[in-house]
Each structure stands twice: as structure tokens, then as C-alpha cells.
Chains A and B, each alone.
Chain A
Amino acid sequence: DAKTTQPPSMDCAEGRAANLPCNHSTISGNEYVYWYRQIHSQGPQYIIHGLKNNETNEMASLIITEDRKSSTLILPHATLRDTAVYYCIVRGEYGNKLVFGAGTILRVKS
């Protein structure tokens, strides 16, 4: 599975959009981009995933560039409860395990 690169940390003001970038320049054609987050003392929470089209659900939007080498997770109106470690993971449909990197620590501040 392709490796991902994320900034180690980001800050965001409460009520503003949080835009979390991820680079996955070695992604192959059948690999999906997944986003999870982990709040302190909890297990990772699934947020969203996509292949090449942009995706949106009740939690977030996922924007994937046309060449699929990078993506951005958007939390449209960040709240204090969105403070967490966000993981961007690339995995093919034939893969089973998720390979977690260090993720991005998002701090939402009032």
C-alpha cells in the first residue's frame, strides 16, 4: 500500500473550516484514500473514504486531486470536539490491514 505524508500538527479556530492535507504520490489506480481520527482514549473513528471522485458525508468532505497524488479532508465548521489525531491512509480493495502513519494533530481553539 502507498505511503502517505501529513503535517505533524495544525491549529484551527472554532467555527472555521479545517483543511487537512495528505500527500500520497505513489498511490496506484485501485487504491482508496481513507481518513480516520482518534480522540484521546478512544479507538480510531472512520470519517470518509474515496477513490477518485470528491466525497461528502455528514462529518466531512474529501477532495482528491485529479492526478490522485494528494487529497484534503475538510471539516466545514470545526468544533472543540474535533480536536484529535487525523490519519490519512491509502489501501487497495485487495488489502486487508490499515497502515497508520503518525497522522496530524488538529487542535481546535476557541
Chain B
Amino acid sequence: GAGVSQSPRYKVAKRGQDVALRCDPISGHVSLFWYQQALGQGPEFLTYFQNEAQLDKSGLPSDRFFAERPEGSVSTLKIQRTQQEDSAVYLCASSLARGPSSRPQHFGDGTRLSIL
């Protein structure tokens, strides 16, 4: 079956440009997560949605990072005025969990963002 789909797969932008990264979760998955993975490190949590509600954005590194999920399905991670330190792989994950649950998260293959 279809897994989590992320686009674009690769994105190159110049410092100062705005970028938008898209995530299509598994159909019917209520919960959606964004993670950032720097080269050679494990993924780090950015933000969490349950349906359209952003319940946790404690991992967003600055106010240049903004995420939305307006209809409770597709989500977009936007980075404004990109900096070189924003270069990383951005991973999206989704889960069937509606609240307290042990249900696992399932990840997409990420968007590799390179800021020149």
C-alpha cells in the first residue's frame, strides 16, 4: 500500500529564499510529525499535528519555521529566509494514533534540503 510521500525529494535553494516542503501521510492517519535530520545524526523532532491541530511545536528551531495541515491531511513545512544551517533532511511521519497509543510512526524518505 501507499506509504508516506514527501516532495520534492531534493531541494536546492539560495540563502535567504523561502522553501516549502510537502508531506502526504498514509490515508486515514490522524497524527503527523515532522523531523529534521542533520548529516550523520539521528532525526530530531520538530512538530506534531493531530488532524489539523498543531499540538506540539516545541522542536521548531526558530520562528522562520512554520508548519500547517489545514484540512487534516497533507502538511507543508515552510522555512522562511533560509540559512545554511537549515541544510538537512526533513522527514515526515504519520500514525493512526488518535491519543495515548503505542501505535508506531511510519516515515517517508524525506526531502534533502541544501542551502547554498
Contacts and interface: CB of A to CB of B under 8 A. Distances in A.
B1 interface: no
Nearest to B112: A41
A36 B108 CA distance: 13
A101 B106 contact: no
A76 B108 CA distance: 26
Contact of A98 (B4, B55, B101, B105): B105
A97 B102 contact: no
Contacts of A98: 33, 35, 43, 45, 93, 105
B31 A96 contact: yes
Contacts, number: 54
A94 B103 CA distance: 11
Interface stretch (A8-16, A18-26, A44-52, A67-75): A44-52
Contacts of A43: 4, 91, 93, 107-110
Which of B31, B91, B102, B110 is packed against the most chain A CB atoms within 10 Å? Answer: B102
By secondary structure, the A interface counts as loop
Contact of A100 (B44, B100, B102): B44
Contact of B43 (A44, A46, A51, A94): A44
Given A44-B43, A44-B91, A93 B100 contact: yes
B48 to A, nearest CB: 5
Nearest to B49: A96
A94 B100 contact: yes
Interface of A: 32, 34, 36, 41-46, 49, 51, 85, 87, 93-94, 96-103
Given A43-B4, A44-B91, A45-B107, A100 B43 contact: yes
Contacts of B31: 96
B90 to A, nearest CB: 10
A99 B43 CA distance: 8
Contacts of A103: 42
A49 B107 CA distance: 15
Contacts of B101: 93
